[in-house]
Amino acid sequence: MLNKIYDWVDERLDITPMWRDIADHEVPEHVNPAHHFSAFVYCFGGLTFFVTVIQILSGMFLTMYYVPDIKNAWESVYYLQNEVAFGVIVRGMHHWGASLVIVMMFLHTLRVFFQGAYKKPRELNWVVGVLIFFVMLGLGFTGYLLPWDMKALFATKVGIEIAASTPLIGHELKVLLAGHPDIVGAQTLTRFFAIHVFFLPAALLGLMGAHFIMIRKQGISGPL
Amino acid sequence: MSKQPVSRRQFLNYTLTGVGGFMAAGMLMPMVRFAVDPVLKGEAAGDFHPTQQKVADLTEVPVRVDFSYEQTDAWYTSEVTNTAWVYKNESGDVVALSPVCKHLGCTVSWEGNDHANQFFCPCHNGLYEKNGKNVPGTPPLKPLDVYPTAEKDGLLQLGKPEANNIV
């Protein structure tokens, strides 16, 4: 049945070369942990992607209950965590995944750094990777405010003060982030929500696409 | 071809780039202006807020003055309470200091933790002199902000805290 559906589509759209391009390629021996166990260090990039997928999915589901408004944000988080079936699991996935993605990304960076895999011709991919790192930090920073509890509020106040200490444009940067010259409040929460849920994920998907296209084009770096 | 300064291909490229750029700008301009609006709106004028503190009762010893006012945060209005440490200096002028520590924003108190004649911040042991000047060697790097003060019907009024220049 599934085969027939596949054939029906393939006959019209010739999709086999497309998915072959994406999925059908050999893993070189030196990056395959089945051959050399130490090759597990090559898994961190893929694990970062895996956790990122979990983050995107769990985040999508969290927005079914979450409200980015200062009167209701905390209540909605409390409700989805304590009243909704598996709420504590879904929020837990997003909460712990946020830290895990940083850990995995850091290990991936260390591997690339210590193997010298960033060297010519892969410099551009390193640059894109660093941009992904900044986007991830931005996602962590903006996501931290959303539960709207004391820890979130004061962490964001400190973070915005750090942004405000930027030379020359510090004050403008602060107002742009907070949405108000003095108050970390209603407009800050909606801004951070928009940045967390739309702007940064869009940037992240674009950058990750570039990251993966480059690694497929250039191939993985050779054995040490 | 050589006598034509602009080829047909170039002309079409320029035209399409121009029109495309114009359309992109037409889409982006409203959105960007929308996003940066808080920056361009500028600061709200610092209104004076009334307090219950009688100016005549002030002495050279700083007292804690709490005052409440309506704060408008976009579509959300709420009653907030702020605090000032208020005293009269040697020349009889009213000085009102913000209690927000210039290190990381905790709340300082007068002679807290037995620090005679100083403001003390409990978070990281920051100290300030009576006039708000930060004590060197403690975490804060700037003096405490000051409230502009006014008097109405014998009662103290406080404005929006600003950087301390009296020190």
| Domain of B61, in residue numbers | 49-158
| A162 → chain B, closest CA residue | B104
Residues of A in contact with B73 (CB under 8 A): 70, 180, 183, 185-187
SS3 assignment, position B86: strand
Same domain assignment for residues B57 and B114? yes
For residue B167, tell me if it sits in a domain.
no
Question: Is A179 an 8 Å CB contact of chain B?
Answer: yes
Based on the fold, state whether residues B27 and B58 are members of the same structural domain.
no
Asked whether residue B14 falls in the same domain as residue B86, the answer is: no
Are B53 and B129 contained in the same domain? yes
- Residue B105 CB partners (closer than 8 Å, separation 6+): A157, A158, A161
Assess if residue B98 is contained within a domain. Answer: yes
Q: How many domains does chain B have?
A: 2
pLDDT for B162 equals 87
User: Could you name the CATH architecture of A35-218?
Assistant: Up-down Bundle (1.20)
Q: What is the ipTM for the molecules in this complex?
A: 0.80
What six digits make up the tokens of B89?
A: 């200096």
My answer on whether B3 and B85 are in the same domain is no
Shared domain for B25 and B67, answered yes or no, is no
Amino acid occupying residue A157: K
More confident residue, A109 or A161: A109
Q: Do B152 and B76 share a structural domain? A: yes
Please say whether the beta carbons of B144 and B164 come within 8 A: yes
Bigger pLDDT: B58 or A23? B58
Minimal CA separation from A175 to chain B, in Å: 6
Judged by CB atoms closer than 8 Å, whether chains meet at A183 and B73 is answered as yes
Q: Which two tokens stand for residue B134?
A: 């930060």
The domain spans of chain A are 35-218
Q: Which residue has the tokens 């029109």?
A: B19
In this structure, the answer to whether residues B3 and B57 fall within a common structural domain is no
* B55 and B36 both lie in a single domain: no
The token duo for A114 is 């210590």
Assign 3-state DSSP to chain B and report helix, strand, coil percentages, each to 5: 25, 35, 45
Q: Does A175 touch chain B (CB under 8 A)?
A: yes
Each residue's pLDDT, cut to its tens digit, for chain B (167 residues) gives: 567 789 999 999 999 999 999 999 999 999 999 999 999 987 766 788 999 999 999 999 999 999 999 988 989 999 999 999 999 988 888 999 999 988 877 889 999 888 889 999 998 999 999 999 999 999 998 899 999 999 999 999 999 888 887 65
Residue A182 or residue A139, greater confidence = A139
Cα dihedral B98, B102, B106, B111 sign: negative
**pLDDT over 60 (residue A186):** yes
As a whole number, mean pLDDT of residues A119-130 equals 97
What are the beta bridge partners of residue B85? B64, B97
Q: Which of A224, A136, A153 is nearest to A188 (CA)?
A: A153
Q: Could you tell me which of B108, B101, B106, B98 has the C-alpha nearest to residue B160?
A: B98
Interatomic CA distance for residues B118 and B86, integer angstroms: 13
- Angle of CA points B153, B159, B160, to nearest 5°: 170
DSSP letter for each residue of A1-53 = -HHHHHHHHHHHH--HHHHHHHH--PPPGGG-TTT-GGGGGGHHHHHHHHHHH
Which of B33, B34, B71, B73 to mutate against chain A (most A CBs within 10 Å)? Answer: B73
* Contact flag B104-A187 (C-beta cutoff 8 Å): no
CA distances to B58, B128, B148 from B131, in Å: 15, 8, 14
What gap in Å lies between CA B157 and CA B152, rounded to an integer? 7
Residues of chain B in contact with residue A180, where contact means CB-CB under 8 angstroms, are 38, 73-74
pLDDT tens digits for A33-59? 999 999 999 999 999 999 999 999 999
Within this chain, do residues B31 and B90 fall inside the same structural domain, yes or no?
no
Q: Are B53 and B156 in contact (CB under 8 A)?
A: yes
| DSSP-derived secondary structure letter, A113 | H
The answer to whether residues B65 and B35 belong to one domain is no
Residue B153 falls inside a structural domain: yes
Overall average pLDDT of the A6-15 stretch: 95
Q: Are B122 and B105 in contact (CB under 8 A)?
A: no
- C-beta separation of A214 from A128 below 8 A: yes
Per-residue model confidence (pLDDT) at position A64 = 97
Which sign does the torsion angle of CA A76, A77, A83, A85 carry? positive
- The CATH number covering residue B68 comes to 2.102.10.10
- In this structure, are B71 and B13 located in the same domain? no
